[in-house]
């Protein structure tokens, strides 16, 4: 038995040079690595517990093939050099991929290709957060990691709000939240914007919200009258009724909360006032006066 065990420890393990170890037990670490295609088994969890506690986060194994004992030991000692990048709430994936390319010196086209291959939606797949990314990670592995971590977070949000995490239904929530994210002047403003969205849809009115035109590469561009006239995409809520077909940006938990819990009002209009906050109204005549006052 001793000879068999020693022979087992000397068998080879094939693994990516850089792997991600999630928080949790040793068994969870081994299970995650198995899901990534690393040829590990349940007994390796017991061996790993004897060697020490696996590092959490990104691990730089440095070699793709080594003995099982060496591999398990490196899980307890190695750590990858990382760089930090932040996705802010309301940013589009197009801009975020550009930031990833520039900050991490990765190929923008390969990032875009991996995103289009693996992302379930056109937009709204990432959870805004600060991410620690290892040097040397491939474009596809990075996109898969960000998408997986974001989906786990969204699943936890759905559970918190007692919502079934169904991708089609969740897409509708994220889409509404993305409009709120682009339009709201502050966090406290979000439930009111959510209310206006619901009220205008209920009345059969177009949303007519500039923020929906800040999609993709237009994330930070001012929406002009010409743009409103010429944009023929489903994002143009001046021309199309209801919410856009897809989210217009990546959303925060606060925007999700506002989408699910709008303030109960009869507001149909709002305009940004001189102090930067929105002024709401239920009648167009009042709305016109508010516009005049806001521009004085």
pLDDT band at 53 (very low <50, low <70, confident <90, very high): confident
179 touches 256 (CB < 8 A): no
Q: What is residue 292's predicted lDDT score, i.e. its pLDDT?
A: 87
Candidate from 24-28, 86-90, 157-161 with smallest mean pLDDT: 24-28
pLDDT tens-digit series, residues 230-268: 999 999 999 999 999 999 999 999 999 999 999 999 999
* Tokens (6 digits) for 2: 């001793």
pLDDT tens-digit series, residues 193-241: 999 999 999 999 999 999 999 999 999 999 999 999 999 999 999 999 9
pLDDT tens-digit series, residues 154-185: 999 999 999 989 889 999 999 999 999 999 99
Q: Is the pLDDT of residue 55 over 90?
A: no
Q: What is the mean pLDDT of residues 91-101?
A: 97
Q: How many C-beta neighbours within 10 Å does residue 61 have?
A: 20
Q: What is residue 142's predicted lDDT score, i.e. its pLDDT?
A: 95
Q: What is residue 193's predicted lDDT score, i.e. its pLDDT?
A: 98
Average pLDDT over the chain, rounded to whole?
94
80 touches 135 (CB < 8 A): yes
Q: What is residue 57's predicted lDDT score, i.e. its pLDDT?
A: 87
* 37 CB-side CA count, 13 A: 9
Any idea what the Cα angle at residue 119 is, between residues 261 and 112, rounded to 5°?
125
Question: Measuring CA to CA, which residue among 50, 92, 90 is closest to residue 72?
Answer: 50
Q: What is residue 90's predicted lDDT score, i.e. its pLDDT?
A: 97
The residue length of the chain stands at 296
pLDDT band at 36 (very low <50, low <70, confident <90, very high): confident
Q: What is residue 269's predicted lDDT score, i.e. its pLDDT?
A: 96
CA distances to 60, 222, 242, 243, 269 from 196, rounded to whole Å, are: 50, 22, 12, 12, 7
Between CA 279 and CA 287 the distance in angstroms is: 9
Q: What is the mean pLDDT of residues 83-88?
A: 94
Q: Is the pLDDT of residue 80 over 80?
A: yes
CA distances to 84, 94, 111, 240, 260 from 245, rounded to whole Å, are: 32, 17, 23, 10, 18
pLDDT band at 294 (very low <50, low <70, confident <90, very high): confident
Q: What is residue 228's predicted lDDT score, i.e. its pLDDT?
A: 96
Q: What is the mean pLDDT of residues 17-31?
A: 90
CA–chain centroid gap for 213, Å, is 20
CA–chain centroid gap for 99, Å, is 14
Tell me the sheet residues that pair with 130.
86
Q: What is residue 56's predicted lDDT score, i.e. its pLDDT?
A: 86
Q: How many C-beta neighbours within 10 Å does residue 3 have?
A: 7
Q: Is the pLDDT of residue 22 over 90?
A: no
Q: What is residue 215's predicted lDDT score, i.e. its pLDDT?
A: 97
Between CA 187 and CA 198 the distance in angstroms is: 18
Residues in CB range of 35: below 8 A, 6 or more apart: none
Q: What is residue 54's predicted lDDT score, i.e. its pLDDT?
A: 87
Q: What is residue 282's predicted lDDT score, i.e. its pLDDT?
A: 96
Between CA 143 and CA 112 the distance in angstroms is: 9
């Amino acid at each position: 038995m001793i000879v068999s065990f020693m022979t087992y420890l000397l068998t080879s393990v094939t693994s990516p040079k850089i792997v991600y170890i999630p928080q949790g037990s040793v068994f969870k670490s081994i299970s995650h690595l198995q899901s990534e295609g690393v040829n590990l088994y349940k007994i390796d969890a017991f061996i790993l517990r004897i060697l020490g506690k696996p590092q959490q986060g990104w691990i730089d194994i440095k070699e793709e093939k080594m003995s099982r004992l060496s591999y398990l030991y490196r899980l307890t000692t190695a750590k990858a050099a990382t760089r930090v990048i932040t996705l802010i709430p309301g940013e589009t994936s197009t801009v975020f991929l550009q930031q990833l390319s520039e900050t991490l010196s990765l190929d923008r086209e390969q990032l875009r290709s991996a995103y289009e291959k693996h992302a379930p939606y056109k937009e709204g797949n990432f959870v805004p957060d600060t991410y620690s990314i290892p040097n040397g990670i491939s474009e596809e592995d990075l996109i898969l990691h960000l998408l997986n971590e974001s989906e786990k977070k969204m699943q936890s949000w759905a559970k918190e709000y007692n919502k079934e995490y169904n991708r089609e239904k969740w897409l509708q929530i994220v889409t509404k939240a993305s409009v709120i994210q682009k339009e709201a002047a502050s966090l406290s403003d979000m439930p009111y914007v959510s209310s206006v969205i619901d009220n205008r849809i209920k009345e059969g009115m177009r949303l007519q919200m500039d923020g929906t035109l800040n999609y993709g590469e237009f994330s930070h561009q001012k929406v002009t009258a010409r743009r409103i006239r010429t944009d023929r995409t489903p994002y143009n809520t001046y021309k199309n009724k209801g919410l856009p077909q897809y989210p217009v940006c990546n959303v925060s938990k606060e925007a999700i909360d506002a989408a699910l819990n709008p303030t109960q009002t009869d507001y149909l209009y709002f305009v940004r006032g001189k102090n930067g906050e929105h002024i709401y109204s239920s009648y167009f005549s009042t709305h016109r006066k508010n516009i005049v006052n806001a521009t004085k």
